[in-house]
Chains A and B, each alone.
Chain A
Amino acid sequence: MKVGQPEKFIIDGKRLDGRAVDELRPLKIKAGVLKRADGSAYLEWGGNKVIAACYGPREVHPKHMMRPDRAVLRTYYNMAPFSVIDRKRPGPDRRSQEISLVTRQALEPVVLTNLYPRTAIDIFIEILQAQAGTRCTGITAASVALADAGIPMKSLVPACAAGKVDGEIVLDLFDIEDNFGSADLPVAIIPKTGEVTLLQMDGNLKGDEFERAFKLAVEGCYQVYEKQKEALIEKYGGGD
């Protein structure tokens, strides 16, 4: 047993932070928090604190990245040195490059890039504080920031993870469950159609466990989607 590993993750049907197995951490989203960015969002999801900023459409630099038929979408995921318990060495690493890539791939299907050929749309995701599930938090924040910037998109993209601890399928892992649990399954979807734009798995799940975890994560996504819409309604009013 590793240092810090709890003996049991679920006691009397409650998880270590007091949640039920199918309960999300408290989620708060605020749209339009940055004045200089074209669009932005601040998100607190349990212990995760994330800012996403969106710029664009704007001119593409370097020029060779320009595409004559569509806009290029570029995402940058970055963790602050103080976002985790051991100081994170600043700058891009393999992990953040991977997350930047999957974030872009999660958002590309909804952004109508063909409307703005020869331009770039840049998204910056800054993790201020991390408590597991930052890629889901980042995607959720980024899609609110895109909408706030007035970039045409088919839909918002909510993301949420499910996983396995103590042989049970649970929703939205927090750091202890993520570090010492058996599996983590982040999912992002397009709510209207149910299409999946992000699906990764860390750890092992049996076939039926995967089915259950996936279903639970998708349900979580729909809850996140409601919060995203609330954030936009809060800034722009209306919505009935």
Chain B
Amino acid sequence: MWETLANLAAGLAASLEPLNFLMILAGLAIGIVAGALPGITMLNSIVLVLPFTYLMGIVPSLLLMTSIYIGGVFGGSITGILFNIPGDPMNVPTTWEGYQLNKKGQVRLALGMAIMASAIGGFLSALILTFASPPFAKVALTFSTVEYFAVVVLGLASVVVIGQVSVAGALMSLFAGMFLGTVGTEAQYGITRFAFGIKFLETGIDFVTVLIGLFAIGEVLDQLSGSKAGAGGDAAAPSTSRARLPSPRQLWALRGSLVRGLGTGVVIGAIPGAGATVASFVSYGLEKQVSKEPERFGTGVLEGLTASETSVNASTGGAMIPLLTLGIPGSGATAVMMGAFLLHGVQPGPLLFAQSPHEVYTIFVGMLLANLVMIVMGLLAARSFAQLMKVPEPILAAFIITFCFIGAYALRNDMADVWLTMLFGILGFFMRRYNLPIPPLILGVILGPLAEQYFLTSMVSHGNDLTVFLTRPVSAAVLLTSAGLLLWPALKGWLARREAVRV
């Protein structure tokens, strides 16, 4: 314990060194801006920044990258709240409530709440990372693809039940997305599926192209063709768009949502693959289920925004645990950080804490600090991005498409991804016109391939015995939760009717 505290004190001193602190500031700024620019994602920025760390030491490099990560997952919510264009799939639930609050003229509250929820979630998860990494990692290793598969199913189930007009429409969208996920080169056999000789399908469909196509380009086309007033148009006047932090009393009233968001974020967010995205949807779904007025969700409810935003940022600490303790990156951002470690000749993993305690604890303290500094940076960024709503719509729309071009291209420096983005933009327009929900499709594209891989690997590992999903306790529990999530609305109605009969 004392040793940990001494290490933390040294870490604090190190992260307050001018260069290191500057990196935290720069990282947050880059992350928030990249995340908040429609079309450019946090992952783009973290990859593009990697070469700049060649010449730095390991500590400033990693402080820079973790700060980009922390700032970026929050920045994706700014663009969601302001323009209805989430920066990352995990920001989608935040967008559902945040953009509605914006439309109701409460953009200050939405942004302020997002900032506080992000900071609280991120800070507490960094604390857990600091003090409880080893036991967490031990538990994580007992999970196999069977458990991973169950978690993916939970994510899929939650998006179907959340606020859909028609469950059939949501299912269509979800399965279409999961099918799109199978297009291209398959990972286990290495063969190409469903490309039909079209070159840009052979490489597969990156979910980022689907995300920015459906949300950003689709939204721009929708506004251009005038089928509804523009994002800037029907949102509140810019004069009220400066973020306002919630009062302590408001926060206290939302404590339940904060705790639930934190719990789902840390636990599910630590699961490799799509943990953070699943966590965000699950926390939102959970919030809706425990709410006394679930029918109000989707109209600008603070509980939904708070829970999902807390879980999104709580996943940052969670995702760092397998990277630092096991050397296993569970997400795109942590994979790039793994690269940064290797470049500096440091292997993340079981020896890291023993061999480089100084570096590790500086990262811990850096993450804690970054989450605190983010409150200030977030306010500043929210203020300046809200100014964007004053920019004439034609300029905004044209540049959003150019950013989408660059963001898609930067994925693999390939025009194929730009083509896909533009085509998904047109699909997004039609999905809007015909009221097909977009989030299930995106979740299908992200989770579909993971579900396939985890399922097939589980089958190979357990001699094609399907019962393994129910005989392993964690998997069984998660799958039962998913089933409950799907059946809960019906069950609730039935219970209510029974109650009514009795009375």
Same assembly: no
What residues make up the interface of A, taking CB atoms closer than 8 Å to B?
Answer: none
